[in-house]
Protein backbone atom coordinates (compact mmCIF):
# COMPACT_ATOMS: atom_id res chain seq x y z
CA UNK A 1 0.00 0.00 0.00
CA UNK A 2 1.29 3.51 -0.83
CA UNK A 3 2.27 5.96 1.89
CA UNK A 4 -0.60 7.94 3.38
CA UNK A 5 0.33 11.52 4.23
CA UNK A 6 -0.34 12.92 7.67
CA UNK A 7 -3.10 15.20 6.38
CA UNK A 8 -5.15 12.13 5.39
CA UNK A 9 -3.96 9.76 8.09
CA UNK A 10 -4.80 12.17 10.91
CA UNK A 11 -8.14 13.41 9.53
CA UNK A 12 -10.63 13.60 12.42
CA UNK A 13 -13.35 10.94 12.40
CA UNK A 14 -15.46 12.31 15.26
CA UNK A 15 -16.39 15.72 16.61
CA UNK A 16 -14.04 15.26 19.57
CA UNK A 17 -11.01 14.91 17.25
CA UNK A 18 -11.63 18.21 15.45
CA UNK A 19 -8.83 20.69 16.19
CA UNK A 20 -10.32 23.98 17.34
CA UNK A 21 -13.76 25.15 16.13
CA UNK A 22 -15.30 24.31 19.50
CA UNK A 23 -18.28 26.62 19.04
CA UNK A 24 -19.25 25.13 15.69
CA UNK A 25 -18.77 21.57 16.95
CA UNK A 26 -21.00 22.22 19.93
CA UNK A 27 -23.71 23.79 17.76
CA UNK A 28 -23.78 20.81 15.40
CA UNK A 29 -23.85 18.29 18.23
CA UNK A 30 -26.74 20.08 19.91
CA UNK A 31 -28.65 20.22 16.62
CA UNK A 32 -28.17 16.46 16.18
CA UNK A 33 -29.25 15.73 19.71
CA UNK A 34 -32.37 17.91 19.42
CA UNK A 35 -33.28 16.78 15.93
CA UNK A 36 -32.94 20.31 14.51
CA UNK A 37 -30.51 19.66 11.67
CA UNK A 38 -31.32 21.90 8.67
CA UNK A 39 -31.45 20.53 5.14
CA UNK A 40 -28.80 22.98 3.95
CA UNK A 41 -25.43 23.68 5.60
CA UNK A 42 -22.57 25.81 4.29
CA UNK A 43 -19.09 25.79 5.87
CA UNK A 44 -16.68 28.63 5.05
CA UNK A 45 -13.16 29.54 6.13
CA UNK A 46 -9.54 29.45 5.04
CA UNK A 47 -7.93 26.31 3.70
CA UNK A 48 -7.23 23.44 6.07
CA UNK A 49 -9.55 24.41 8.91
CA UNK A 50 -11.94 21.42 8.70
CA UNK A 51 -14.80 22.36 6.36
CA UNK A 52 -14.95 19.07 4.45
CA UNK A 53 -14.09 17.13 7.60
CA UNK A 54 -17.09 18.54 9.46
CA UNK A 55 -19.36 17.76 6.50
CA UNK A 56 -18.22 14.11 6.49
CA UNK A 57 -18.64 13.79 10.25
CA UNK A 58 -22.17 15.20 9.90
CA UNK A 59 -22.87 12.57 7.22
CA UNK A 60 -21.68 9.86 9.63
CA UNK A 61 -23.78 11.24 12.46
CA UNK A 62 -26.93 11.31 10.31
CA UNK A 63 -26.50 7.83 8.77
CA UNK A 64 -25.02 6.00 11.75
CA UNK A 65 -27.04 2.95 12.82
CA UNK A 66 -27.25 4.44 16.32
CA UNK A 67 -28.25 7.84 15.04
CA UNK A 68 -28.84 10.46 14.24
CA UNK A 69 -26.35 10.93 17.06
CA UNK A 70 -23.75 13.53 18.12
CA UNK A 71 -21.19 10.73 18.51
CA UNK A 72 -21.00 8.41 15.49
CA UNK A 73 -19.69 4.95 16.30
CA UNK A 74 -17.30 4.51 13.35
CA UNK A 75 -17.94 0.77 13.56
CA UNK A 76 -21.20 0.27 11.69
CA UNK A 77 -21.15 -0.39 7.92
CA UNK A 78 -22.46 3.07 7.14
CA UNK A 79 -19.73 4.84 9.17
CA UNK A 80 -17.01 2.61 7.70
CA UNK A 81 -18.21 3.20 4.14
CA UNK A 82 -18.28 6.97 4.63
CA UNK A 83 -14.79 6.95 6.19
CA UNK A 84 -13.46 4.90 3.27
CA UNK A 85 -15.27 7.03 0.67
CA UNK A 86 -17.26 4.07 -0.61
CA UNK A 87 -20.76 5.01 0.49
CA UNK A 88 -23.34 4.91 -2.29
CA UNK A 89 -25.60 7.42 -0.58
CA UNK A 90 -22.86 10.02 -0.05
CA UNK A 91 -22.27 12.16 -3.15
CA UNK A 92 -19.16 14.33 -2.78
CA UNK A 93 -18.90 16.68 -5.77
CA UNK A 94 -16.03 18.95 -6.74
CA UNK A 95 -17.59 22.29 -7.60
CA UNK A 96 -14.62 23.35 -9.73
CA UNK A 97 -14.99 20.32 -12.05
CA UNK A 98 -18.77 19.92 -12.06
CA UNK A 99 -19.85 23.50 -12.22
CA UNK A 100 -22.33 23.59 -15.10
CA UNK A 101 -26.09 23.48 -15.21
CA UNK A 102 -26.12 19.98 -16.75
CA UNK A 103 -24.39 18.48 -13.70
CA UNK A 104 -26.95 20.13 -11.43
CA UNK A 105 -29.78 18.70 -13.56
CA UNK A 106 -28.31 15.19 -13.25
CA UNK A 107 -27.98 15.70 -9.51
CA UNK A 108 -31.63 16.73 -9.22
CA UNK A 109 -32.67 13.59 -11.11
CA UNK A 110 -30.66 11.32 -8.79
CA UNK A 111 -31.89 12.76 -5.50
CA UNK A 112 -35.49 11.93 -6.37
CA UNK A 113 -34.82 8.29 -5.54
CA UNK A 114 -34.64 6.98 -2.02
CA UNK A 115 -31.22 6.10 -0.49
CA UNK A 116 -29.91 2.63 -1.19
CA UNK A 117 -28.58 1.47 2.18
CA UNK A 118 -28.34 4.49 4.45
CA UNK A 119 -30.98 6.60 6.13
CA UNK A 120 -30.37 9.80 4.13
CA UNK A 121 -28.74 10.90 0.91
CA UNK A 122 -25.96 13.39 1.64
CA UNK A 123 -24.84 15.83 -1.09
CA UNK A 124 -21.47 17.50 -0.34
CA UNK A 125 -20.33 20.14 -2.88
CA UNK A 126 -16.77 21.30 -2.22
CA UNK A 127 -15.67 24.72 -3.52
CA UNK A 128 -19.28 25.58 -4.21
CA UNK A 129 -18.39 29.15 -5.18
CA UNK A 130 -17.04 27.79 -8.48
CA UNK A 131 -20.50 26.92 -9.78
CA UNK A 132 -21.92 29.05 -12.55
CA UNK A 133 -24.81 31.41 -12.00
CA UNK A 134 -27.07 29.13 -14.10
CA UNK A 135 -26.15 26.16 -11.91
CA UNK A 136 -26.94 28.15 -8.77
CA UNK A 137 -30.30 29.20 -10.19
CA UNK A 138 -31.14 25.62 -11.09
CA UNK A 139 -30.37 24.57 -7.53
CA UNK A 140 -32.49 27.20 -5.80
CA UNK A 141 -35.87 25.45 -5.80
CA UNK A 142 -34.46 22.08 -4.80
CA UNK A 143 -32.41 23.66 -2.01
CA UNK A 144 -35.40 25.55 -0.69
CA UNK A 145 -37.74 22.53 -0.62
CA UNK A 146 -35.61 19.38 -0.83
CA UNK A 147 -36.98 15.86 -0.34
CA UNK A 148 -37.10 14.63 3.24
CA UNK A 149 -34.32 12.11 2.64
CA UNK A 150 -31.77 14.62 1.24
CA UNK A 151 -29.27 16.90 3.02
CA UNK A 152 -27.08 19.48 1.22
CA UNK A 153 -23.70 20.47 2.66
CA UNK A 154 -21.50 23.05 0.95
CA UNK A 155 -17.89 24.06 1.59
CA UNK A 156 -16.17 27.20 0.28
CA UNK A 157 -13.13 29.36 0.91
CA UNK A 158 -14.70 32.42 -0.73
CA UNK A 159 -18.10 32.93 0.80
CA UNK A 160 -18.60 36.33 -0.87
CA UNK A 161 -18.82 34.63 -4.28
CA UNK A 162 -21.82 32.55 -3.32
CA UNK A 163 -25.13 34.20 -4.30
CA UNK A 164 -27.23 35.61 -1.51
CA UNK A 165 -30.16 33.50 -2.64
CA UNK A 166 -28.14 30.38 -1.82
CA UNK A 167 -26.90 31.74 1.51
CA UNK A 168 -30.40 32.61 2.64
CA UNK A 169 -31.46 28.96 2.21
CA UNK A 170 -28.60 27.54 4.30
CA UNK A 171 -27.23 27.75 7.81
CA UNK A 172 -23.78 29.32 7.68
CA UNK A 173 -20.83 28.19 9.79
CA UNK A 174 -17.68 30.28 9.46
CA UNK A 175 -14.60 28.42 10.65
CA UNK A 176 -11.83 30.44 12.31
CA UNK A 177 -8.08 30.02 12.15
CA UNK A 178 -6.79 27.50 14.64
CA UNK A 179 -4.86 28.98 17.56
CA UNK A 180 -1.12 28.57 18.05
CA UNK A 181 -1.40 26.58 21.26
CA UNK A 182 -3.88 24.11 19.78
CA UNK A 183 -1.77 23.61 16.67
CA UNK A 184 1.41 23.11 18.70
CA UNK A 185 -0.26 20.51 20.91
CA UNK A 186 -1.73 18.73 17.89
CA UNK A 187 1.62 18.58 16.03
CA UNK A 188 3.50 17.42 19.11
CA UNK A 189 0.97 14.64 19.66
CA UNK A 190 1.30 13.53 16.03
CA UNK A 191 5.10 13.50 16.28
CA UNK A 192 4.92 11.29 19.37
CA UNK A 193 2.52 8.95 17.62
CA UNK A 194 5.02 8.65 14.76
CA UNK A 195 7.86 7.98 17.22
CA UNK A 196 9.73 11.23 16.43
CA UNK A 197 11.19 13.69 18.95
CA UNK A 198 10.71 17.34 18.06
CA UNK A 199 11.96 20.45 19.84
CA UNK A 200 9.42 23.06 20.99
CA UNK A 201 11.28 25.71 18.96
CA UNK A 202 10.89 23.56 15.85
CA UNK A 203 7.18 23.17 16.54
CA UNK A 204 6.87 26.96 16.91
CA UNK A 205 8.45 27.47 13.49
CA UNK A 206 6.01 25.03 11.89
CA UNK A 207 3.05 26.61 13.67
CA UNK A 208 4.13 30.07 12.52
CA UNK A 209 4.34 28.90 8.92
CA UNK A 210 0.99 27.12 9.14
CA UNK A 211 -0.75 30.45 9.91
CA UNK A 212 -3.81 28.80 11.46
CA UNK A 213 -4.24 26.09 8.82
CA UNK A 214 -4.05 22.54 10.19
CA UNK A 215 -3.45 20.94 6.80
CA UNK A 216 -0.62 23.35 5.88
CA UNK A 217 1.16 22.54 9.13
CA UNK A 218 0.72 18.80 8.59
CA UNK A 219 2.26 19.06 5.12
CA UNK A 220 5.27 20.92 6.56
CA UNK A 221 5.57 18.45 9.41
CA UNK A 222 5.57 15.53 6.98
CA UNK A 223 8.37 17.22 5.00
CA UNK A 224 10.43 17.85 8.14
CA UNK A 225 10.06 14.24 9.29
CA UNK A 226 11.45 13.06 5.98
CA UNK A 227 14.51 15.32 6.30
CA UNK A 228 15.38 15.11 9.98
CA UNK A 229 14.60 11.51 10.83
CA UNK A 230 13.87 10.58 14.43
CA UNK A 231 14.93 13.91 15.98
CA UNK A 232 13.84 17.31 14.73
CA UNK A 233 15.70 20.52 15.66
CA UNK A 234 14.83 24.14 14.98
CA UNK A 235 17.91 24.77 12.83
CA UNK A 236 17.03 21.85 10.58
CA UNK A 237 13.44 23.06 10.26
CA UNK A 238 14.70 26.49 9.19
CA UNK A 239 16.96 24.90 6.59
CA UNK A 240 14.21 22.70 5.18
CA UNK A 241 11.61 25.46 4.98
CA UNK A 242 14.06 28.13 3.80
CA UNK A 243 13.41 30.27 6.85
CA UNK A 244 15.61 32.75 8.65
CA UNK A 245 15.94 32.04 12.32
CA UNK A 246 14.32 34.40 14.76
CA UNK A 247 17.72 35.40 16.10
CA UNK A 248 18.79 36.79 12.72
CA UNK A 249 15.63 38.90 12.46
CA UNK A 250 16.10 40.07 16.05
CA UNK A 251 19.71 41.09 15.39
CA UNK A 252 18.64 42.98 12.28
CA UNK A 253 15.89 44.80 14.17
CA UNK A 254 18.21 45.81 17.01
CA UNK A 255 20.81 47.04 14.50
CA UNK A 256 18.21 49.31 12.91
CA UNK A 257 17.13 50.61 16.31
CA UNK A 258 20.69 51.43 17.37
CA UNK A 259 21.56 52.98 14.00
CA UNK A 260 24.31 50.44 13.21
CA UNK A 261 23.97 50.38 9.42
CA UNK A 262 27.02 48.17 8.82
CA UNK A 263 25.64 45.48 11.09
CA UNK A 264 22.24 45.74 9.42
CA UNK A 265 23.83 45.25 6.00
CA UNK A 266 25.70 42.18 7.25
CA UNK A 267 22.46 40.66 8.52
CA UNK A 268 20.77 41.43 5.20
CA UNK A 269 23.56 39.67 3.33
CA UNK A 270 23.13 36.68 5.61
CA UNK A 271 19.39 36.62 4.88
CA UNK A 272 20.05 36.57 1.14
CA UNK A 273 22.56 33.82 1.70
CA UNK A 274 19.80 31.64 3.09
CA UNK A 275 17.86 32.12 -0.15
CA UNK A 276 14.82 33.37 1.71
CA UNK A 277 11.85 34.67 -0.24
CA UNK A 278 11.79 38.46 -0.22
CA UNK A 279 8.08 38.59 0.60
CA UNK A 280 8.52 36.30 3.57
CA UNK A 281 11.53 38.27 4.81
CA UNK A 282 9.61 41.56 4.67
CA UNK A 283 6.73 39.98 6.55
CA UNK A 284 9.05 38.61 9.24
CA UNK A 285 10.83 41.92 9.80
CA UNK A 286 7.62 43.95 9.99
CA UNK A 287 6.11 41.37 12.34
CA UNK A 288 9.14 41.74 14.62
CA UNK A 289 8.58 45.50 14.88
CA UNK A 290 4.86 44.92 15.38
CA UNK A 291 5.56 42.70 18.37
CA UNK A 292 7.90 45.35 19.76
CA UNK A 293 5.23 48.05 19.40
CA UNK A 294 2.70 45.93 21.29
CA UNK A 295 5.23 45.42 24.06
CA UNK A 296 5.69 49.19 24.26
CA UNK A 297 1.93 49.72 24.42
CA UNK A 298 0.85 47.15 26.97
CA UNK A 299 2.35 45.93 30.21
CA UNK A 300 0.84 42.49 29.52
CA UNK A 301 1.53 41.87 25.82
CA UNK A 302 0.90 38.15 26.18
CA UNK A 303 -2.82 38.79 25.82
CA UNK A 304 -2.28 40.45 22.43
CA UNK A 305 0.63 38.44 21.02
CA UNK A 306 0.46 34.77 20.14
CA UNK A 307 4.11 34.09 21.00
CA UNK A 308 6.06 31.90 23.41
CA UNK A 309 6.85 33.41 26.80
CA UNK A 310 10.58 33.51 26.01
CA UNK A 311 9.99 35.70 22.95
CA UNK A 312 7.62 38.00 24.85
CA UNK A 313 10.19 38.46 27.61
CA UNK A 314 12.88 39.35 25.06
CA UNK A 315 10.63 41.89 23.33
CA UNK A 316 9.65 43.45 26.66
CA UNK A 317 13.31 43.90 27.57
CA UNK A 318 14.05 45.66 24.27
CA UNK A 319 10.96 47.86 24.63
CA UNK A 320 12.29 49.30 27.89
CA UNK A 321 15.14 51.05 26.04
CA UNK A 322 13.11 52.71 23.27
CA UNK A 323 10.06 54.94 23.24
CA UNK A 324 6.89 54.10 21.39
CA UNK A 325 7.33 57.16 19.16
CA UNK A 326 10.76 56.01 17.99
CA UNK A 327 9.66 52.45 17.20
CA UNK A 328 6.52 53.69 15.46
CA UNK A 329 8.46 56.13 13.25
CA UNK A 330 10.96 53.43 12.34
CA UNK A 331 8.15 51.00 11.52
CA UNK A 332 6.48 53.50 9.16
CA UNK A 333 9.73 54.15 7.28
CA UNK A 334 10.42 50.43 6.90
CA UNK A 335 6.84 49.72 5.85
CA UNK A 336 7.00 52.29 3.06
CA UNK A 337 10.44 51.25 1.87
CA UNK A 338 9.83 47.51 2.01
CA UNK A 339 6.55 47.86 0.14
CA UNK A 340 8.47 49.53 -2.70
CA UNK A 341 11.01 46.70 -2.60
CA UNK A 342 8.23 44.17 -3.15
CA UNK A 343 7.44 45.70 -6.57
CA UNK A 344 10.96 46.79 -7.49
CA UNK A 345 13.08 45.13 -10.18
CA UNK A 346 16.03 45.31 -7.74
CA UNK A 347 14.52 44.44 -4.36
CA UNK A 348 17.80 44.22 -2.49
CA UNK A 349 18.79 47.74 -3.51
CA UNK A 350 15.40 49.04 -2.39
CA UNK A 351 15.74 47.25 0.96
CA UNK A 352 19.22 48.70 1.52
CA UNK A 353 17.94 52.22 0.85
CA UNK A 354 15.07 51.59 3.26
CA UNK A 355 17.56 50.54 5.95
CA UNK A 356 19.66 53.67 5.36
CA UNK A 357 16.58 55.84 5.77
CA UNK A 358 15.51 53.95 8.89
CA UNK A 359 18.80 54.33 10.77
CA UNK A 360 18.60 58.11 10.39
CA UNK A 361 15.48 58.33 12.54
CA UNK A 362 17.37 58.30 15.81
CA UNK A 363 15.61 58.81 19.12
CA UNK A 364 12.32 60.55 18.42
CA UNK A 365 11.07 62.78 21.23
CA UNK A 366 7.33 63.38 21.68
CA UNK A 367 6.07 66.87 20.94
CA UNK A 368 4.74 67.27 24.48
CA UNK A 369 8.19 66.69 25.96
CA UNK A 370 9.77 69.15 23.54
CA UNK A 371 7.20 71.81 24.49
CA UNK A 372 7.87 71.29 28.19
CA UNK A 373 11.62 71.62 27.64
CA UNK A 374 11.09 74.73 25.54
CA UNK A 375 8.94 76.32 28.25
CA UNK A 376 11.62 75.56 30.82
CA UNK A 377 14.33 77.14 28.68
CA UNK A 378 12.23 80.24 28.03
CA UNK A 379 11.40 80.61 31.72
CA UNK A 380 15.09 80.40 32.66
CA UNK A 381 16.04 82.89 29.95
CA UNK A 382 13.37 85.32 31.21
CA UNK A 383 14.74 85.21 34.75
CA UNK A 384 18.28 85.88 33.52
CA UNK A 385 17.12 88.87 31.46
CA UNK A 386 15.18 90.35 34.39
CA UNK A 387 18.22 89.92 36.68
CA UNK A 388 20.55 91.61 34.22
CA UNK A 389 18.13 94.47 33.57
CA UNK A 390 17.67 95.14 37.30
CA UNK A 391 21.42 95.16 37.96
CA UNK A 392 22.37 97.40 35.02
CA UNK A 393 22.35 101.26 35.61
CA UNK A 394 19.77 103.32 33.84
CA UNK A 395 20.94 105.07 30.72
CA UNK A 396 19.53 108.26 29.32
CA UNK A 397 17.91 107.78 26.02
CA UNK A 398 19.22 109.94 23.25
CA UNK A 399 16.59 111.64 21.16
CA UNK A 400 17.61 111.55 17.56
CA UNK A 401 16.23 114.42 15.54
CA UNK A 402 15.25 113.58 11.99
CA UNK A 403 17.60 115.03 9.42
CA UNK A 404 16.30 117.87 7.31
CA UNK A 405 15.57 116.90 3.77
CA UNK A 406 17.65 118.72 1.21
CA UNK A 407 15.77 120.01 -1.81
CA UNK A 408 17.84 120.23 -4.98
CA UNK A 409 18.41 123.71 -6.34
CA UNK A 410 17.13 122.68 -9.72
CA UNK A 411 13.77 121.68 -8.24
CA UNK A 412 13.45 125.05 -6.52
CA UNK A 413 14.11 126.88 -9.73
CA UNK A 414 11.63 124.77 -11.73
CA UNK A 415 8.77 124.82 -9.22
CA UNK A 416 6.14 127.42 -10.29
CA UNK A 417 4.57 127.48 -6.83
CA UNK A 418 7.57 129.08 -5.09
CA UNK A 419 6.27 132.43 -3.76
CA UNK A 420 9.55 134.34 -3.58
CA UNK A 421 10.68 133.37 -7.05
CA UNK A 422 9.27 135.55 -9.81
CA UNK A 423 9.16 134.39 -13.36
CA UNK A 424 11.58 136.04 -15.69
CA UNK A 425 9.96 137.64 -18.76
CA UNK A 426 12.07 137.52 -21.87
CA UNK A 427 11.56 139.91 -24.76
CA UNK A 428 9.45 138.69 -27.67
CA UNK A 429 11.43 136.72 -30.22
CA UNK A 430 11.93 138.02 -33.71
CA UNK A 431 11.18 136.14 -36.87
CA UNK A 432 14.80 135.21 -37.53
CA UNK A 433 15.27 133.75 -34.10
CA UNK A 434 12.01 131.83 -34.24
CA UNK A 435 13.22 129.91 -37.26
CA UNK A 436 16.07 128.44 -35.19
CA UNK A 437 13.72 126.72 -32.65
CA UNK A 438 13.21 122.99 -32.32
CA UNK A 439 11.65 121.03 -35.10
CA UNK A 440 8.04 120.18 -34.42
CA UNK A 441 6.56 116.91 -35.55
CA UNK A 442 3.69 116.91 -37.97
CA UNK A 443 1.51 115.01 -35.53
CA UNK A 444 1.92 117.75 -32.89
CA UNK A 445 1.09 120.48 -35.41
CA UNK A 446 -2.07 118.64 -36.38
CA UNK A 447 -3.10 118.39 -32.75
CA UNK A 448 -2.56 122.13 -32.30
CA UNK A 449 -4.60 122.91 -35.41
CA UNK A 450 -7.47 120.81 -34.06
CA UNK A 451 -7.33 122.62 -30.72
CA UNK A 452 -7.35 126.03 -32.39
CA UNK A 453 -10.30 125.02 -34.56
CA UNK A 454 -12.21 124.03 -31.43
CA UNK A 455 -11.44 127.40 -29.79
CA UNK A 456 -12.66 129.23 -32.91
CA UNK A 457 -15.94 127.29 -32.87
CA UNK A 458 -16.48 128.12 -29.22
CA UNK A 459 -15.95 131.83 -29.87
CA UNK A 460 -18.41 131.79 -32.79
CA UNK A 461 -21.02 130.09 -30.63
CA UNK A 462 -20.48 132.68 -27.89
CA UNK A 463 -20.95 135.52 -30.38
CA UNK A 464 -24.22 134.01 -31.59
CA UNK A 465 -25.55 133.85 -28.02
CA UNK A 466 -24.87 137.62 -27.55
CA UNK A 467 -26.12 139.40 -30.73
CA UNK A 468 -26.50 142.78 -28.97
CA UNK A 469 -23.35 144.12 -30.52
CA UNK A 470 -24.85 143.59 -33.97
CA UNK A 471 -21.58 142.25 -35.22
CA UNK A 472 -20.22 138.77 -35.60
CA UNK A 473 -17.03 137.84 -33.91
CA UNK A 474 -14.51 136.77 -36.48
CA UNK A 475 -11.32 135.01 -35.42
CA UNK A 476 -8.18 135.47 -37.37
CA UNK A 477 -7.14 132.35 -39.22
CA UNK A 478 -3.96 130.51 -38.24
CA UNK A 479 -3.17 129.80 -41.85
CA UNK A 480 -1.44 132.10 -44.28
CA UNK A 481 -2.98 135.61 -44.82
CA UNK A 482 -5.62 135.84 -47.60
CA UNK A 483 -6.23 139.41 -48.83
CA UNK A 484 -7.03 142.34 -46.54
CA UNK A 485 -9.34 140.56 -44.08
CA UNK A 486 -9.24 142.19 -40.65
CA UNK A 487 -10.84 141.11 -37.42
CA UNK A 488 -13.98 143.14 -36.57
CA UNK A 489 -13.96 142.05 -32.95
CA UNK A 490 -14.97 144.53 -30.32
CA UNK A 491 -12.57 143.54 -27.58
CA UNK A 492 -14.24 145.39 -24.74
CA UNK A 493 -17.73 144.05 -25.43
CA UNK A 494 -16.49 140.50 -25.89
CA UNK A 495 -14.52 140.67 -22.64
CA UNK A 496 -17.59 141.93 -20.72
CA UNK A 497 -19.78 139.20 -22.18
CA UNK A 498 -17.23 136.54 -21.29
CA UNK A 499 -16.93 137.79 -17.70
CA UNK A 500 -20.71 137.78 -17.27
CA UNK A 501 -20.85 134.22 -18.59
CA UNK A 502 -18.15 133.10 -16.16
CA UNK A 503 -20.05 134.64 -13.28
CA UNK A 504 -23.16 132.66 -14.21
CA UNK A 505 -21.19 129.40 -14.22
CA UNK A 506 -20.05 128.70 -10.63
CA UNK A 507 -17.73 125.83 -11.60
CA UNK A 508 -15.82 127.84 -14.21
CA UNK A 509 -12.32 129.20 -13.66
CA UNK A 510 -11.79 132.96 -13.83
CA UNK A 511 -9.24 133.67 -16.50
CA UNK A 512 -8.81 137.43 -15.80
CA UNK A 513 -9.37 140.45 -18.08
CA UNK A 514 -6.46 140.70 -20.44
CA UNK A 515 -6.29 142.63 -23.63
CA UNK A 516 -4.57 141.66 -26.82
CA UNK A 517 -1.53 143.77 -25.99
CA UNK A 518 -1.26 142.21 -22.55
CA UNK A 519 -1.37 138.76 -24.08
CA UNK A 520 1.35 139.66 -26.60
CA UNK A 521 3.48 141.09 -23.85
CA UNK A 522 3.22 138.03 -21.60
CA UNK A 523 3.23 135.44 -24.36
CA UNK A 524 7.01 134.71 -24.37
CA UNK A 525 7.02 134.07 -20.61
CA UNK A 526 4.10 131.69 -21.02
CA UNK A 527 5.95 129.83 -23.79
CA UNK A 528 9.02 129.46 -21.54
CA UNK A 529 6.83 128.17 -18.74
CA UNK A 530 5.28 125.57 -21.02
CA UNK A 531 8.66 124.57 -22.48
CA UNK A 532 9.85 123.34 -19.08
CA UNK A 533 6.92 120.94 -18.91
CA UNK A 534 5.82 120.09 -22.47
CA UNK A 535 8.51 120.83 -25.05
CA UNK A 536 6.33 119.81 -28.00
CA UNK A 537 3.53 122.14 -26.92
CA UNK A 538 5.97 125.05 -26.45
CA UNK A 539 7.34 124.53 -29.94
CA UNK A 540 3.82 124.65 -31.37
CA UNK A 541 2.99 127.83 -29.46
CA UNK A 542 6.25 129.40 -30.64
CA UNK A 543 5.38 128.63 -34.24
CA UNK A 544 1.93 130.17 -33.78
CA UNK A 545 3.60 133.33 -32.40
CA UNK A 546 5.82 133.56 -35.47
CA UNK A 547 2.82 133.31 -37.78
CA UNK A 548 1.01 136.02 -35.85
CA UNK A 549 4.01 138.37 -36.09
CA UNK A 550 4.24 137.84 -39.82
CA UNK A 551 0.54 138.68 -40.23
CA UNK A 552 0.94 141.87 -38.29
CATH code at position 97: 3.40.50.300
Q: What is the pTM of this model?
A: 0.61
Residues 72 and 18 both lie in one domain: yes
Examine the pLDDT at 549 and tell me if it is beyond 60: no
Task: Give Cβ neighbours of residue 75 (< 8 Å, ≥ 6 apart).
Answer: none
Handedness of CA 322, 324, 328, 331 (dihedral sign): positive
Q: What share of the chain is helix, strand, coil (3-state, %, to 5)?
A: 60, 5, 35
**pLDDT band, very low/low/confident/very high, at 236 (cuts 50, 70, 90):** confident
Q: Specify whether 330 is located in the same domain as 206.
A: no
Q: Report if residue 208 sits inside a domain.
A: yes
Residue range 46-79, pLDDT digits in tens: 999 999 999 999 999 999 998 789 999 999 999 9
Number of domains in the chain: 4
The span from the CA of 43 to the CA of 41, in Å, is 7
Residue 292 lies in a domain: yes
- Residue after which a domain boundary falls, among 190, 223, 241: 241
Residue 498 has pLDDT above 70, yes or no: no
Q: Does residue 169 lie within any of the structural domains? A: yes
Q: Is residue 53 part of a domain?
A: yes
Q: Does 254 share its domain with 201? A: no
For residue 371, tell me if it sits in a domain.
Answer: no
Tell me: cis bond preceding 68? Omega within 30 of 0 counts: yes
Is the residue at 508 inside a domain?
no
pLDDT number for residue 161: 94
Please indicate, yes or no, whether residues 465 and 450 belong to a single structural domain of this protein. yes
Beta strands in 316-411 (DSSP E): none
Q: Nearest CA to 124 among 148, 154, 97?
A: 154
Q: What is the mean pLDDT of residues 255-276?
A: 84
**Residue ranges making up the domain that contains 287:** 246-359
User: What are the phi and psi torsion angles at 155 (to 5°)?
Assistant: -135, 135
CATH number (domain holding residue 233) = 1.10.8.60
5 C-beta neighbours (distance < 10 Å), count: 14
Question: Do 190 and 220 share a domain, yes or no?
Answer: yes
CA separation for the pair 258, 250 (Å, rounded): 12
Both 155 and 261 in one domain: the answer is: no
Mean pLDDT of 127-144: 93
Which of residues 540 and 108 earns the better pLDDT score? 108
The tens digit of pLDDT for each residue in 355-401 reads 888 888 765 556 666 677 777 887 777 666 666 555 555 555 454 45
Which of 176, 195, 224 is a domain's end point?
176
Residues 13 and 126 in one domain: yes
Same domain, 446 and 347: no
Q: Taking the CB of residue 295, how many other CB atoms lie within 10 A of it?
A: 26
Last residue of a domain, one of 157, 176, 195: 176
Q: What single-letter DSSP state applies at residue 16?
A: G
Examine the domain organization and report whether 171 and 204 are in the same domain.
no
The verdict on 130 and 204 lying in the same domain is: no
289 and 438 both lie in a single domain: no
Q: Are 20 and 145 part of one and the same domain?
A: yes
Amino acid sequence: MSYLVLARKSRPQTFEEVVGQKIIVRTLQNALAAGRVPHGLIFSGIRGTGKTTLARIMAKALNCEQGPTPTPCNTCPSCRDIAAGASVDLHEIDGASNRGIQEIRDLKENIRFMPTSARFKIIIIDEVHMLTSEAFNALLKTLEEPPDHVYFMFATTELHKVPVTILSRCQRYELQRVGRMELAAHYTRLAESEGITIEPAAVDLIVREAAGSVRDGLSLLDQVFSYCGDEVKAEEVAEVLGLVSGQVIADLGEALLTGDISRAMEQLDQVYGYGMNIKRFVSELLSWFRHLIFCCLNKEPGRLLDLPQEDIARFSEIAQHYSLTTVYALFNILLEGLERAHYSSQPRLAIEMAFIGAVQVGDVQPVSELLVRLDTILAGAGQEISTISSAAPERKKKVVQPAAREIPEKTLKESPSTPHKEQEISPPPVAGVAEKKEYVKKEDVKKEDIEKEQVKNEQVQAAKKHPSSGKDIVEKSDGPPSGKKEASLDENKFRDKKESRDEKEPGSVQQGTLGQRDIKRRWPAFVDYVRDRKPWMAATLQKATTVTLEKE
